[in-house]
């Protein structure tokens, strides 16, 4: 028999109950904006209150280990190796906080991916120095964050154009919706700042931004197709419980469904990331092997 998933915490259930109560009062007035705002609030309520987290954000070592999915022995090893900061001492009691929990989840995720402790120490040091380790390694699931994967950034149009440093490419990005010109005509919003940052990183190797935009436009429909397949699985489960014309389930059941979707999103991203990484590695190895094989086959005879 499969074990029942963890139920939402009291904090989650309470926050969701408050949002649903407000929604029930307002929904008869019928604006779609009311529903969209409520949906955003519901997901933020789940993500903002992790299951099992203490309200104070202070944990004993046993609680920290349970929340991070590791052991107290591992925590002591990480402390001895300098990967975790010392806990707060209150008398003889050692208390850890959310910073420890976030870092511990990151360490666990990196070790699970095959990095050794020396590598983890190096990368965490780089992360603390301001480098976006989560983006580089795809470890968003290990780091506490909000529901949205990235937040749009608004800046002066001149600054946005300097960021792209290519007038034609800037116009293409506006046309594709990756950059939005605001109504005041003075500002621009970079809708996908992490994507633009990745473009600029790759451009350093001599690949043109036009080529990168072409790749994005080819890949996006395929990614959307993958998303639709994954989300449909979660949608079918939710639609078995929430149906048009039928009263909403009780708040606890709604909280469980939303918690399931948040976890579903996290695990789907992790699964697709791991699969894509494996596929790219295999494809790169095949490409390099083919290039070297062609080179060896066509190289002039050294004895000739």
Domain membership of residue 288 as a residue range: 242-298
Flag whether 206 is in a domain: yes
pLDDT value for 147: 47
Q: What is the number of structural domains in the chain?
A: 3
pLDDT, tens digit, 9 for 90 and up, residues 55-96: 346 788 988 888 888 899 999 988 888 888 888 877 777 888
The structure's pTM equals 0.49
- Tell me the DSSP string of 111-146: HHTT--HHHHHHHHHHHHTT--HHHHHT-GGGS---
Residues 85 and 134 in one domain: yes
SS3 letters across 203-224: HCCCCCHHHHHHHHHHHHHHHH
Flag whether 40 is in a domain: no
Flag whether 42 is in a domain: no
Order of strands, edge to edge, in the sheet holding 153-156?
Answer: 153-156, 187-190, 179-181
143, 166, 194 - which closes a domain: 143
Flag whether 34 is in a domain: no
Flag whether 101 is in a domain: yes
Work out the average pLDDT over 9-32: 61
Does 216 have pLDDT greater than 60?
yes
Of residues 278 and 211, more confidently modeled:
211
pLDDT, tens digit, 9 for 90 and up, residues 218-245: 999 998 898 888 888 777 777 777 776 7
pLDDT value for 267: 74
Residues 66 and 108 in one domain: yes
Work out the average pLDDT over 273-294: 82
143, 171, 192 - which closes a domain: 143
pLDDT value for 15: 66
Q: What percent of the chain has pLDDT over 70?
A: 64
Residue 255 backbone class (left: φ over 0; alpha: ψ -120 to 50; beta: rest): alpha
pLDDT value for 51: 44
Does 133 have pLDDT greater than 60?
no
CATH number at residue 85: 1.10.1660.10
pLDDT value for 46: 54
Flag whether 7 is in a domain: no
Residues 70 and 93 in one domain: yes
Q: For all residues of the chain together, what is the average pLDDT?
A: 75
C-alpha separations of 69 from 75, 97, 102, 258 in Å: 11, 16, 12, 22
Flag whether 80 is in a domain: yes
Residues 114 and 176 in one domain: no
pLDDT value for 151: 78
């Amino acid at each position: 028999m499969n074990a029942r998933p963890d139920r939402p915490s009291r904090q989650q259930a309470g926050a969701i109950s408050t949002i649903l109560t407000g929604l029930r009062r307002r929904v008869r007035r019928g604006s779609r904006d009311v529903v969209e705002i409520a949906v955003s609030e519901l997901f933020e309520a789940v993500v903002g209150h992790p299951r099992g987290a203490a309200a104070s954000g202070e944990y004993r070592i046993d609680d920290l280990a349970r929340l991070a999915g590791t052991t107290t022995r591992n925590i002591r090893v990480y402390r001895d190796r300098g990967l975790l900061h010392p806990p707060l001492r209150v008398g003889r009691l050692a208390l850890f906080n959310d910073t420890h929990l976030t870092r511990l989840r990151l360490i666990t995720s990196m070790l699970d991916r095959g990095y050794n402790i020396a590598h983890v120490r190096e990368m965490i040091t780089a992360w603390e120095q301001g480098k976006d380790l989560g983006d580089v390694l795809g470890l968003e699931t290990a780091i506490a964050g909000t529901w949205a994967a990235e937040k749009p950034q608004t800046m002066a149009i001149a600054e946005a154009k300097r960021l792209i440093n290519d007038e034609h490419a800037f116009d293409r990005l506006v046309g594709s919706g990756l950059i939005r010109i605001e109504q005041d005509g003075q500002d621009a919003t970079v809708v996908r700042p992490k994507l633009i940052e990745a473009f600029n990183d790759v451009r350093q190797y001599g690949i043109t931004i036009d080529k990168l935009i072409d790749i994005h436009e080819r890949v996006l429909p395929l990614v959307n197709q993958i998303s639709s397949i994954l989300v449909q699985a979660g949608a079918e489960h939710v639609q078995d419980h929430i149906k048009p014309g039928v009263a909403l389930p009780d708040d606890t059941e709604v909280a469980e469904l939303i918690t399931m979707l948040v976890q579903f999103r996290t695990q789907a991203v992790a699964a697709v990331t791991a699969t894509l990484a494996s596929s790219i590695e295999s494809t790169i190895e095949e490409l390099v092997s083919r290039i070297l094989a062609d080179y060896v086959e066509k190289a002039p005879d050294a004895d000739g």
